[in-house]
Structure 1
């Protein structure tokens, strides 16, 4: 029997990889995703395009990210994470440089297609699959740290705004494009594919006699290794994917319409903007705490608890119009944790059920399903408001959507049932 131990007084290299993926997410989120709002007005003023045309780039970004997820998962197993991150960093930098030279609507949209192709490697499938490769016992915590980067990126938004206002938006895009090349490429070089290639096992465990032959090490470390076909045939995969899709539908609808809804209640934009800023910050607590709990308790139930918080927050959001703005404090707490908590659990659940061998591909398909469904959230809330002149009905519907997601996760077969052939 091989005895496993950890090297003393040495930080496991997997945590350096987690740190690199975290910082890449911070930059990409702060500049491309959360910072997008700062560039809309300057572009509208220069080209006299409508806000709808300019903001449509965000829809392109979301739709393309969903389409790219399965491809990223497939390429992960063929190229490895480092090459993909480097390619993504180059595409992001070139896309931002192209955006700074935009002179037509087609060129504007084309630059966002290029940017999205790049940043699709910085979020979701790739970093979470890397975490799944390097961690087993602490995969939820490692994933939680990585996905927190997207929320922490919010602190860059004021800086993005200052740079745009000081140097004008075209120069700012050049600065951010060069920054992507200077920051992302060195960080990408830190990332490695599998710990076995360097004499480690997941979580930093090593055998007393380290054999870098991956096949021999794999024999020492038993793990589930399901194929994509096996995953797609399993009931657990669809319960997890549908549950997370319903989670995504709810959170995207709220994040998109939070300020219009509060304005419709007569709440000043200054106050509603603080709510919009507070939400991603609170999600950090959810991402990290659920990562910790997910390593210690049933991951299905931990994730389902996040959906329960989301369901409760929707009812609170409805009653803000009845009780007054004070209820927003509870809403932010419940919604923020319910929003952020289940995010790191996606990779942890896929890793636990199906192992590492095809994790990138399986997670990519699952993420594509989640994003595809999430497209329905904002139009649904908008349609309710356009039809009834109020958002209240939308929040009740979304409370039901979140509840259905919770049920989907709770009724998923356990890992033991799946491995015993219960699908």
Structure 2
């Protein structure tokens, strides 16, 4: 898969796994910087008198910026290599994080979060594409899954880190400055120790079909897979926005039980990303379609189970439900990105990942407010969970209409010959 690619570390050459850990570290720190609004929301309300609507709009600004960047991913990956792009995204996010804590004006805060989302939206597909070039199909799912765990770990570390800085300094603004320091250190290490690797097709100088949006839109794997990810991403952020309220207000559960449920779901999500990557690589020998369909099927069961939650429900049963949900609906991203990256030629990968990211962010922007509106009209979140369970059936049907990515089929054929 890779010819001549290497990482340089002093006088030694390192392996593809060093590339993975460098991307993982940057992904984690970028996520720490991006997922901060929910943690500092009380300070935005008390110090700057931002309304709840304005605070919610800042989160929307992040995903709006990411959606905007998804339109440019195909062009960016053709014009710039992953090393330059990663360094650029790090400095863009760092600039936004320096501006935001001292803005105090909603319009400026919104612009800062828009820039943060834009930079974050560029890094995710760019780093995925780089790992596709670094890893052969048998290890690719695992590698991308490891990188994606940096998203949930970074979000979790963000809450802990900010709380620690505030408790020791009394200034929430300082936490952003420290995150910027960590971000610059990670980008500096990336600059020193990472060297881009080109796919063998580019190294040989071939100029096979350059993927464009029209060509990619005819690829049913990309379109159906992206529609499925729109649904799963929307469900993921609907859970983040409404599940705590569902348990505490509607089912009168204690805050400790609720926070435990959310924590377990997030941990299960991180474990799920690794599990699905390992399973697709080493059990199904590089095949992704069946794994993706399994994720959607199990998500259907967990979401339907949420609709049957009641005030005096066994805590054990609740934790089992959120574990299944986290393992699937929160753990799908790695396998989705691998599936998408393998569904076209190497020249089309950047555009395919850009389209997939665009669909994901559309789902994130639409599902949470729509679910809140449905709950208000219906008077209960139960109908929301039942409805989402039905929509995951649609995602399962869409995925069943796709075909196994060609790289997995090629790998299987090679093994038969050997």
TM over 0.5: yes
Contact 2:247 2:258 in 1 (8 A): yes
Pairs within 5 Å for 1:77-96: 77-96=78-97
2:98 maps to which residue?
97
2:255 maps to which residue?
269
Query: Residue 185 of structure 1: CA displacement?
Result: 3.3
Contact 1:249 1:373 in 2 (8 A): yes
Which ranges in structure 2 are unaligned for 5 or more consecutive residues?
7-11, 411-418
Query: Residue 391 of structure 1: CA displacement?
Result: 0.4
Q: Are 1:342 and 2:332 an aligned pair?
A: yes
Deviation per residue, 1:340-381 (Å, 9 max, x gap) = 432112222123221322211221112112221332211222
**SS of corresponding position for 1:120:** helix
Contact 1:225 1:357 in 2 (8 A): yes
CA distance in 1, matches of 2:163, 2:186: 19
Query: Residue 120 of structure 1: CA displacement?
Result: 2.3
Deviation per residue, 1:305-329 (Å, 9 max, x gap) = 1111111110111112276142211
Pairs within 5 Å for 1:11-160: 13-33=15-35, 35-122=36-123, 124-137=124-137, 138-153=139-154, 154-160=156-162
CA shift in 2, pair 1:64/1:132, >3 Å: same
**Worse-superposed segment, 269-278 or 143-152:** 269-278
- Count of equivalent residues: 395
Query: Residue 75 of structure 1: CA displacement?
Result: 0.6
Contact 2:264 2:323 in 1 (8 A): no
**SS of corresponding position for 1:116:** helix
Query: Residue 418 of structure 1: CA displacement?
Result: 12
Deviation per residue, 1:209-232 (Å, 9 max, x gap) = xxxx8117x79xxxx977234322
Q: Are 1:245 and 2:230 an aligned pair?
A: yes
**SS of corresponding position for 1:267:** coil
Pairs within 5 Å for 1:401-420: 401-415=391-405
CA distance in 1, matches of 2:128, 2:61: 23
2:322 maps to which residue?
332
CA shift in 2, pair 1:261/1:409, >3 Å: same
Q: Are 1:187 and 2:176 an aligned pair?
A: no
CA shift in 2, pair 1:356/1:188, >3 Å: farther
Query: Residue 26 of structure 1: CA displacement?
Result: 1.3
1:178 maps to which residue?
181
CA shift in 2, pair 1:374/1:53, >3 Å: closer
**SS of corresponding position for 2:380:** coil
1:320 maps to which residue?
309
Which ranges in structure 1 are unaligned for 5 or more consecutive residues?
203-212
Query: Residue 107 of structure 1: CA displacement?
Result: 1.7
**SS of corresponding position for 1:358:** helix
Contact 2:230 2:359 in 1 (8 A): yes
CA shift in 2, pair 1:321/1:399, >3 Å: same
Q: Are 1:227 and 2:211 an aligned pair?
A: yes
CA shift in 2, pair 1:352/1:25, >3 Å: same
CA shift in 2, pair 1:419/1:147, >3 Å: closer
Query: Residue 85 of structure 1: CA displacement?
Result: 1.0
1:209 maps to which residue?
none
Contact 1:287 1:343 in 2 (8 A): yes
State the TM-score, normalized to the length of structure 2: 0.86
**Worse-superposed segment, 89-98 or 225-234:** 225-234
CA shift in 2, pair 1:12/1:319, >3 Å: farther
Q: Are 1:388 and 2:378 an aligned pair?
A: yes
Deviation per residue, 1:223-271 (Å, 9 max, x gap) = x977234322122222211122122222221121110111121011222
**SS of corresponding position for 2:347:** coil
CA shift in 2, pair 1:240/1:272, >3 Å: same
Q: Are 1:305 and 2:294 an aligned pair?
A: yes
CA distance in 2, matches of 1:82, 1:234: 29
Contact 1:239 1:409 in 2 (8 A): yes
Contact 1:148 1:288 in 2 (8 A): yes
CA shift in 2, pair 1:6/1:61, >3 Å: closer
State the TM-score, normalized to the length of structure 1: 0.85
Contact 1:304 1:409 in 2 (8 A): yes
Query: Residue 38 of structure 1: CA displacement?
Result: 1.9
